[in-house]
Amino acid sequence: MCFLHVLGGTGLFALVDLVSNMKLPNFAKWRWGTLDGVCRHLEKGGLESLRLSFDPAPFRKAKDQSQLNKVVEALQSEQWNVEFKFVSWFSNWLGAILAWVGCCLCHREDYEAGIAVECTQKGRLLSVAYEYADGKLQAGLAIAHAWKPHMFGGNATFVAELQGCVRYVVATAYIKLDFLDRIPVLCARLRQPGVRDRCLAAHLYFLVFSLVLFVRGASAPHPLRLIH
């Protein structure tokens, strides 16, 4: 309230309205989705205006100045602003994928618009889960590859590091999603081009592999681990 009073005293009433509507959760509730929400609120809450108008003087009487100093340093730092830009994009990219898991196919547009939906079909997404995640991951990767140094403070090395971060996350995500692209879950995507043939080939391979093991009596890795 003291901070809002200070802003109001300087005539920044629009910024007061924006900041007062911000909802920042406590540290105990932090998750990827939480980070996404916080970044969204900061952007909508006029972070750039706050950086330009923040005056630490009214808070200098507080006993503990360490937190205030960190805030001042962050708001005055161009590098922090550049890093926030990436964190905001990154959390929104991953947050959209994570939030999609709880939606349904019949209200996809409502979910993307941030509209709360009550539906008994929530979570029934197995047939399209891999396709959706793959599309989002590839879209994010394409955006990252298009980044130029001038978009992030002119630092080419920093941009290369951000792009490497995105590539690593995409590679890790495909490892995590691999089970969706194998038998038996693969059978949920029979309507997608080429999936039926893959399932038939995998089933045939399973039968042949099992027959060979039976005849030879040899031990070998479970055939499902070898099916792609």
Integer Cα distance of 135 and 108 in angstroms: 15
The pLDDT value given to residue 209: 60
State whether the Cα torsion 195-135-33-149 is positive or negative. Answer: positive
Interval 27-81: pLDDT, tens: 556 677 778 888 887 777 677 777 777 777 767 777 778 887 888 888 888 898 8
Helices 66-76, 78-100: axis angle to 10 degrees equals 90
Integer Cα distance of 168 and 157 in angstroms: 17
Residue 5's pLDDT band, with cuts at 50, 70 and 90, is: low
The pLDDT value given to residue 1: 46
Interval 132-169: pLDDT, tens: 999 999 999 999 999 999 999 899 999 999 999 999 99
* Contact in structure between 140 and 170 (CB atoms under 8 Å): yes
The pLDDT value given to residue 62: 73
Which of 101-105, 126-130, 158-162, 217-221 is the most confident on average? Answer: 158-162
Interval 176-216: pLDDT, tens: 998 888 878 888 888 788 888 887 887 776 666 666 666 66
Interval 73-116: pLDDT, tens: 888 888 988 999 999 999 989 988 888 887 888 887 777 666 77
Radius of gyration of the chain (CA): 25
**DSSP labels for 112-130?**
HTT-----TTTT--TTTHH
The pLDDT value given to residue 16: 55
Q: Which two tokens stand for residue 7?
A: 């802003």
* Contact in structure between 56 and 72 (CB atoms under 8 Å): yes
Question: Which contacts of 148-154 are long-range, i.e. CB under 8 A and separated by 24 or more positions?
Answer: 152/82, 152/85, 152/86, 153/78, 153/79, 153/82
The pLDDT value given to residue 221: 53
The pLDDT value given to residue 202: 76
* Contact in structure between 103 and 125 (CB atoms under 8 Å): yes
Q: How far is CA 1 from CA 11, 59, 61, 74, 117, in A?
A: 15, 12, 16, 21, 34
What's this model's pTM, rounded to 2 decimal places? 0.71
The pLDDT value given to residue 27: 57
The pLDDT value given to residue 108: 76
